[in-house]
Amino acid sequence: MKLLGFLPFFALPLAFAATKDIKSQLVSLAATGNCVIRLDASAFDLLTAPNRDWSASIHFTALDKRRRCAPCKEFDPAWNSVAKAWATVPAEQRDNHFFATLDFDEAPTVFQKLNLASAPVVWVYGPTEGPRASARNVPSKYDFSNGFEAEPLAQHLSNHTPIPIPYKAPIDWARWITFISGLLGFALTLRFIAPVLQSRWTWAAITIVTSLTMTGGFMFTRIRGSPYTGADGSWIAGGYQNQFGQEVQVVALIYGTLAFSVVMLTMIVPYQTSPARQRLQVYLWSGVLMLIYSVLVTLFRVKNRGYPFKLLL
Amino acid sequence: MSTAYPLPTNISPTTVANTASLLRIVAFGLISGAAIASRLFAVINFESIIHEFDPWFNYRATRVLAAKGFYEFWNWFDPTAWYPLGRVVGGTVYPGLMATSGVIYNFLHYFNLPVDIRNICVLLAPGFSALTAWATYMFTAEMKDPSAGLLAAAFIGIVPGYISRSVAGSYDNEAIAIFLLMFTFYLWIKALKLGSALFGTLAAVFYFYMVAAWGGYAFITNMIPVHALVLLLMGRFSGRLYVAYCSWYAIGTLSSMQVPFVGFQPVRTSEHMGALGVFGLLQIVAFASLVRSHVSSKQFQNLLAISVVTMGVLGAGAFVVMTYKGWIAPWTGRFYSLWDTGYAKKYIPIIASVSEHQPTAWPSFFMDLQLLIFLFPAGVIMCFRELRDEHVFVIIYAVVASYFAGVMVRLMLTLTPVVCVSAAVALSTLLDTYVEAKEPDVPEERMEANGSSAPDGKKTKKAGGAVGSQASTTAVAAASSAISDFVSATRSSASTPRQKGIWGADTRLVILLNAIGMLVFFVFHCTWVTSNAYSSPSVVLASTNPDGSQHIIDDYREAYYWLRMNTPQDAVVMSWWDYGYQIAGMADRVTLVDNNTWNNTHIATVGKAMSSPEEVAYPILRKHDVDYVLVIFGGLLGYSGDDINKFLWMVRIAQGVWPDEIQEPNYFTPQGEYRVDDRASEAMKTSLMYKMSYYRFSELYGGGNAVDRVRNQQIPKVGPTLDYLEEAFTTENWIVRIYKVRKEDTLGRDLKTANAFAQGKKKKRSKPVSRRRAIV
């Protein structure tokens, strides 16, 4: 009978041994998996064991082709590079935080259990024991609003790791080489393209194209990432504060045509040498001006429904 | 010489000149009148009232300045803003606007004209718009001639892009800044043209005024050096450039450092380094050209060239090292976000949250500039044709400003002047060409070749060979030969001047009627846009009754006056930062945060309180001594600028500081929708903002469906309950709702328990009383 009373005391070191055991198991898993643990349902339970003195960031994804998860593919390299950066940390810190990936097709039950309906998702499980133990037992979720890049991910995860992740963005050699070779090429051909560069009309073309694209709302589509056309194939976005990529082209073209007809009327037509031809051009470009301007106003009426004016159309 | 229409012959040139100048004066008077009058819609439709948000602070500061004098204003510490931190107003404000109104106020009172300071503030922007028209006239006259100047003045007088920031009551820095911008540019062009140190100094003085008036002065600080640099690169260095730039830079920089808010920034931040760098470069180039003119030895000239290049490289290197070492501050976030457009959203959500910092879609351009937007490129091309030094300025301005206006809606304001100038140049050139009475002679050899297109085609082929327009031989003569004409016109600008002119009266009439028609349309457009879109004070709202009459919605002032009359003088009111200035200005109460968003953490604290459950928010409120909480709710009326629509920004800003406690995805449904009905997420439903917005909302509909008319969603019948706050006041249309923060229970109970007890509910034993946790 007394022996039974002692049993819990024996069980205690056993329990410790068990967590130690799990941990060493995890460490070896991480070592084999190139610093990312490939999880299945049972490994997931090991990693998120209720009494753990380690933390873990888990990446839920669906990389299989059938799942057609484009963001998953986009995010995967960033995740692996951050995990690789973590592998360079000294062992005593490294073994307190694990990186793991769980693919939907390897453990769909886990997805069901966690009520996950989308991928990719990154959850961080904090430690429940030990010096870093936190009161919150719910995993914290990584917010993808900063995009799928590695840099913000490493920054966010560093809040949960024992020491910050020593992630450094890799040097983009391709970009540097293109840049330098472009520069060299420019320097070499400078002699041949110098007349072009010194021509004011080259610069005029650059200036006009720039200002036309800018006033066509190019920066809006870039910053907001609006699509080229709508999902239903329409090229003009409803609403005054919105636009598609194709609208930039159409509007810039309209502005360009209108400006061109004004330029023709002032800079070309007066130099005509025959009265009849000049008269024809005057009427032609005036007609173009009125017609395209009417088109522009009609287009604007589509965007701004309350606009009360219209021209020919 | 034949003319298209008869010209009077018996008028002396002096009469013509005098009449022209009289007409100019009359036209200019009419333009000023139109510019001022079109800005008075707001006063006529509503009343003489300060608009929007920032103007309320400017107005409050101006009142202090007018009542207590300049030195008192300079040393003003405002303990009621950013409670409990306070704000050193004198050192954190651009005082130019207030000083201007103060001077006008004292001037009028000196002559015993007792004009109220409010009316001066309300009418300052329209008054300065007339001055802007004048400055634009002067500037454009330098580009082309006074007639183009008059067109530009008329354009800038009524163009919505400028009116949007300068209607009566829009008492903001931009009200005077655009005048200063244009006038400084005019003086710079004048200084450059004449090589005059006097005009350079005047440009520096107005630059100083600009620095004192608006943070956008950095635009001048960079525009002028870029212009100087481009002139250098084009090989147009001259003594005039040297004198103009150096006098502007030296005096302008020294005087700008006298503004306390700017201080040593002109020598320490990257925004100003371009100006310094060009200043240094000009010294080197001037030195080199001086030495070169005195020595002849080939070796020495080589040595000189090498030493100049070395000096330039060393200077650039020193600049890089100093930036790296931190002696020169890097770009400020606000400035940096113009280049890296994703930067603000990531690191400074407060900047990204402001609606006027959003990128501009094309309808905004057309709305604000209408026909000017396509005359603008034509005008730029005409600048390229002449390409004098001042035209280079307009070209650079056009490129830079159109980029900036595309990135941020508010920078449309800097684009507008150059668009007006450039469009005026284009239109005035067009009108000059077609108003001119003289007809060119019909060349002999062209007369007989008139009907057949064969000689035309041959000529086309010869001229158009450069661009390889083979097709032009067969195409319609009028259209295709245009290209070759274009090429030959651009080519021949240097060679013999070709005969230029228009035949016939009908062609003139077509163009003139067309132009007049477009201008009339422009006037109608501007009037419509100004009266409909830009003349709302946003403090007072208007809607239309079924019979077409106007219905005024005055909830904001109702709420602010309630606060003023019913709460103690030192009551602390918490609201989202948008309303801080208005509360301080109209209700005269202490605020936690306001539109001077200098302290991100403080704003995030308010955001956290708004987006947390009551139990979490209450300790925050108590620690900040908050007595009242004010929210804007548009659900009843369909007013879309309310706090629930701004709520995500509060969450985002709070998340930036407390990423563990506040997380944006929690406020969306699992499907990723932003909902407020019964499918709303748990975090949304328990948040203080949601509760305050919809508290007792469904009661209003009796048993019927309570529908939020902004988001078109049905609000649950059983609305949220409040334990730590109580409703104090709700305005007529429910736009402003004010809640009083309860004091701690006198018996030391948790307020939730106390409430439950008071309502006769049994105390639940099972659930332990939630402990109040200290916030970090």
Q: What percent of chain B has pLDDT over 70?
A: 88
Whole-number pLDDT of residue B129: 94
- B361 part of contact set with chain A, CB < 8 Å: yes
Tell which wins on pLDDT, B278 or B457.
B278
Question: Shortest CB distance from A268 goes to which of B449, B489, B655?
Answer: B489
Residue tagged 């769909």 (tokens): A108
Exposed/middle/buried for residue B671 (C-beta within 10 Å: 0-12, 13-18, 19+): exposed
pLDDT > 50? residue A2: no
Sheet holding A37-39, edge to edge: A37-39, A97-103, A55-61, A121-125, A140-141
Spatial CA neighbour of A255 closest among A302, A201, A218, A202 = A218
ipTM of the complex: 0.83
Distance between CA atoms of A124 and A140, rounded to whole angstroms?
A: 5
Q: Do B507 and A283 touch (CB under 8 A)?
A: yes
Distance between CA atoms of B382 and B429, rounded to whole angstroms?
A: 9
Tell which wins on pLDDT, B271 or A265.
A265
The distance of B399 to chain A (nearest Cα, Å) reads: 6
Whole-number pLDDT of residue B457: 39
Instruction: Determine the average pLDDT of the residues in A290-299.
Output: 93
Q: Do B500 and A271 touch (CB under 8 A)?
A: yes
Distance between CA atoms of B169 and B402, rounded to whole angstroms?
A: 28
The pLDDT tens digits for A166-202 are 877 777 788 889 999 999 988 888 888 888 888 889 9
Question: Shortest CB distance from A262 goes to which of B378, B407, B490?
Answer: B378
A274, A282, B479, B480 from B472: Cα distances, Å? 18, 19, 9, 5
Q: Do A264 and B482 touch (CB under 8 A)?
A: yes
Q: Domains of chain A, with CATH numbers?
A: 15-157 (3.40.30.10), 216-303 (no CATH)
The distance of A79 to chain B (nearest Cα, Å) reads: 19
Question: Shortest CB distance from B377 goes to which of A136, A212, A293?
Answer: A212
Q: Do A215 and B433 touch (CB under 8 A)?
A: no
pLDDT > 50? residue B479: no
Spatial CA neighbour of B338 closest among B173, B179, B421, B218 = B218
Spatial CA neighbour of A35 closest among A79, A92, A96, A99 = A99
Show me where the domains of chain B are located.
454-490, 559-758
The distance of A40 to chain B (nearest Cα, Å) reads: 25
Q: How many residues does chain A have?
A: 313
For the ranges A128-142, B435-449, B458-472, B474-488, the one whose mean pLDDT is highest: A128-142
Question: Shortest CB distance from A207 goes to which of B395, B433, B485?
Answer: B395
Please report residues of A whose CB lies closer than 8 A to that of B426.
259, 262-263, 266
Quick check: B427 and B371 in contact, CB under 8 A?
Answer: no
What's chain A's Rg over C-alpha atoms?
32
Whole-number pLDDT of residue B679: 85
Return the amino acid letter for B67. Answer: A
Question: Mutating which of A273, A286, A299 best tests the B interface, going by the most B Cβ atoms within 10 A?
Answer: A273
Whole-number pLDDT of residue B83: 85
Question: Shortest CB distance from B502 goes to which of A200, A251, A278?
Answer: A278
pLDDT > 70? residue A87: yes
**Chain A, chain B: beta-carbon pairs less than 8 Å apart:** 208
Residue tagged 């130690």 (tokens): A20
What DSSP assignment string belongs to B122-139?
Answer: HHHHHHHHHHHHHHHHHH
Both tokens of B604, joined, read 């995030």
pLDDT band at A14 (very low <50, low <70, confident <90, very high): very low
Instruction: Determine the average pLDDT of the residues in B505-528.
Output: 92
Please report residues of B whose CB lies closer than 8 A to that of A146.
346
Q: Identify the helix (H) or strand (E) that includes residue A70.
A: helix A70-87
DSSP B665: G
B89, B563, B575, B626 from B80: Cα distances, Å? 11, 15, 14, 13
The pLDDT tens digits for A200-214 are 899 999 999 999 999
Whole-number pLDDT of residue B534: 85
Whole-number pLDDT of residue A45: 81
| Cα B18-B196-B217 angle, rounded to 5 deg | 95
Distance between CA atoms of B121 and B59, rounded to whole angstroms?
A: 7
pLDDT > 60? residue A38: yes
Distance between CA atoms of B599 and B594, rounded to whole angstroms?
A: 10
pLDDT > 80? residue B95: yes
Window 526-585 of B: residues touching A by CB (8 A cutoff) are 528, 532
Return the amino acid letter for B26. Answer: V
Residue A154 DSSP SS3: helix
Window 460-489 of B: residues touching A by CB (8 A cutoff) are 477-479, 481-482, 485-486, 489
- B442 part of contact set with chain A, CB < 8 Å: yes
The pLDDT tens digits for B716-725 are 888 888 888 8
Question: Shortest CB distance from A270 goes to which of B364, B500, B506?
Answer: B500
The pLDDT tens digits for B211-248 are 999 988 999 999 999 999 999 888 888 999 999 999 99
pLDDT > 60? residue A7: no
Question: Shortest CB distance from B489 goes to which of A146, A271, A296?
Answer: A271
Q: Do B359 and A224 touch (CB under 8 A)?
A: yes
Tell which wins on pLDDT, A43 or B255.
B255
pLDDT > 80? residue A13: no
Question: Shortest CB distance from A220 goes to which of B359, B403, B514?
Answer: B359
pLDDT band at B110 (very low <50, low <70, confident <90, very high): very high
Q: Do B481 and A277 touch (CB under 8 A)?
A: yes
Which chain A residue shows the shortest CA-CA distance from B385? A200
pLDDT band at B464 (very low <50, low <70, confident <90, very high): very low
- B507 part of contact set with chain A, CB < 8 Å: yes
pLDDT > 50? residue B461: no
Q: Do B360 and A204 touch (CB under 8 A)?
A: no
For the ranges A134-143, B73-82, B237-246, the one whose mean pLDDT is highest: B237-246
Question: Shortest CB distance from B362 goes to which of A145, A216, A306?
Answer: A216
Question: Shortest CB distance from A215 goes to which of B402, B486, B663?
Answer: B402
Whole-number pLDDT of residue B454: 40
The pLDDT tens digits for B560-597 are 999 999 999 999 999 998 899 999 989 889 999 988 87
| Cα B648-B651-B656 angle, rounded to 5 deg | 125
Tell which wins on pLDDT, A138 or B227.
B227
Q: Do A268 and B482 touch (CB under 8 A)?
A: yes
The distance of A18 to chain B (nearest Cα, Å) reads: 31
Instruction: Determine the average pLDDT of the residues in B116-134.
Output: 93
pLDDT band at B344 (very low <50, low <70, confident <90, very high): low
Question: Shortest CB distance from B384 goes to which of A200, A241, A260?
Answer: A200
Whole-number pLDDT of residue B712: 85
pLDDT band at B47 (very low <50, low <70, confident <90, very high): confident
The distance of B774 to chain A (nearest Cα, Å) reads: 15
Residue B91 DSSP SS3: coil
Distance between CA atoms of A125 and A53, rounded to whole angstroms?
A: 11
Tell which wins on pLDDT, B485 or A30.
A30
pLDDT > 70? residue B735: yes
The distance of B341 to chain A (nearest Cα, Å) reads: 7
Mean pLDDT of chain A: 81
pLDDT > 90? residue B522: yes
| Cα B3-B5-B8 angle, rounded to 5 deg | 90
The distance of A176 to chain B (nearest Cα, Å) reads: 19
Question: Mutating which of A214, A290, A304 best tests the B interface, going by the most B Cβ atoms within 10 A?
Answer: A214
Whole-number pLDDT of residue B36: 94
Q: Do A217 and B521 touch (CB under 8 A)?
A: no
Instruction: Determine the average pLDDT of the residues in B516-544.
Output: 88
Residue B525 DSSP SS3: helix
Both tokens of B282, joined, read 């000009």
pLDDT > 90? residue B658: no
Q: How do beta strands B736-741 and B725-730 pair?
A: antiparallel
Please report residues of B whose CB lies closer than 8 A to that of A282.
502, 507, 510-511
Please report residues of A whose CB lies closer than 8 A to that of B361.
217, 220, 240-243
The pLDDT tens digits for B668-709 are 887 778 888 888 888 888 899 999 998 888 888 877 788 888
Please report residues of A whose CB lies closer than 8 A to that of B498.
271
Q: Do A220 and B406 touch (CB under 8 A)?
A: yes
pLDDT > 50? residue B456: no
Q: Computed from CA positions of residues B444, B445, B447, B448, in that sequence, does the dihedral angle turn out positive or negative?
A: positive
- B640 part of contact set with chain A, CB < 8 Å: no
Distance between CA atoms of B206 and B252, rounded to whole angstroms?
A: 8
Quick check: B190 and B170 in contact, CB under 8 A?
Answer: no
Instruction: Determine the average pLDDT of the residues in B345-361.
Output: 76
pTM of the model: 0.83
pLDDT band at B465 (very low <50, low <70, confident <90, very high): very low
Instruction: Determine the average pLDDT of the residues in B152-176.
Output: 92
Question: Shortest CB distance from B398 goes to which of A207, A256, A304?
Answer: A207
Instruction: Determine the average pLDDT of the residues in B112-116.
Output: 91
- B663 part of contact set with chain A, CB < 8 Å: yes
Question: Mutating which of A118, A211, A222 best tests the B interface, going by the most B Cβ atoms within 10 A?
Answer: A211
Please report residues of A whose CB lies closer than 8 A to that of B403.
210, 214, 219
Selected from 3.40.50.12610, 3.40.190.10, 2.102.10.10, 3.40.50.10860, the CATH number assigned to the domain covering B559-758 reads 3.40.50.12610
The distance of B18 to chain A (nearest Cα, Å) reads: 28
Q: Do A143 and B664 touch (CB under 8 A)?
A: yes
Spatial CA neighbour of B372 closest among B140, B559, B594, B599 = B140
